[in-house]
Structure 1
Amino acid sequence: MKKPMPEQEERQWATGVHLAHIAGYIIFFIPFFGLAATFGLWYWRKEDSDFFNDQGKEALNFQITISLALLAITFLTVITTGMWSVGSLVILGANDYVYGTGLYQIALMWNILRYLVNLFNIVFSIIAAVQASKGIRYRYPINLRLVK
């Protein structure tokens, strides 16, 4: 049987698992790296501490939720800008000014939403990390609890 993890160490690991996704922002050219980093850290240490296991699952579920939201936004961006561009080409012709303006506005709307989701991710992950460093079991306000 493994020796139990000291409380200070489990707090440090729990803080780290909440912040692991930030590696995805640093290494931005690898899709879902932040999700993989969170999963890897949780999977590696989940047996060592109940507190860490709980916070690791919470962080992993939150990163899955954020990833699904970003995938949905990307899908909607492709669908709506694609539909607009096809409709504009058929009705107005390829060189019409309205085509570019409308496409830009729709893409801008989805990109603003994408940035807000990423900001939400960073802010609440930092809040979770601070709470975990104090030994408090944090729960994200929006979280699909898929990993039990």
Structure 2
Amino acid sequence: MSDTTPTAVPPLSASDERLWATLIHVGGIVFHFLPALIGYLVLRDRGAFIHQQTRTALNFQLTVLAGYIVGIFTSWFIVGLLVLLAVAALNIVFSVIAAVAANTGEHYEYPLAIRFIR
């Protein structure tokens, strides 16, 4: 018979946590909320730093998604196109800032992010 009890997942080293957090923040620029969601689901139990960073990135990317939805629905007005451009620019700028902070091991909270996940 095989043992089917779940085994505890070992924590990541500090450098691995920083690496994964950096990749998740940068991945949000291209793949939007998917890297943050996958990282949150897979890595959140592997360390306190990665848990905080994936949660923060996921909250921000969900906020960006909401901004894109608002921009799309109001795109028949000029303001909707401006919203889309502003959200895209903020996504790039804040994701790069968060990636640099994560790479140095600093905790970073995105400004303007709605806290969907606490």
TM interval, short-chain normalised: 0.7 to 0.9
Q: CA deviation at 1:111?
A: 1.6
CA offsets 1:105-136 (integer angstroms, 9 cap, x no match): x34x4223211210111000000000011111
Structure number with greater Rg is 1
Identity of aligned residues (%): 30
Does the 8 A contact of 2:102 with 2:108 survive in 1? yes
Residue 137 of structure 1 aligns with an amino acid whose one-letter code is H
Match of 2:102 among 113, 132, 142: 132
- CA RMSD in angstroms, aligned pairs only: 1.4
1:122 matched to 2:89: no
Distance of 2:80 and 2:21 partners within structure 1: 33
Show structure 1 runs of 5+ residues with no match.
Answer: 25-33, 82-105
Distance of 1:2 and 1:36 partners within structure 2: 22
Pairs aligned (count): 111
Match of 2:39 among 21, 41, 65: 41
Partner of 1:31: none
Distance of 1:72 and 1:110 partners within structure 2: 7
| TM-score using structure 2 length | 0.86
Distance of 1:48 and 1:135 partners within structure 2: 15
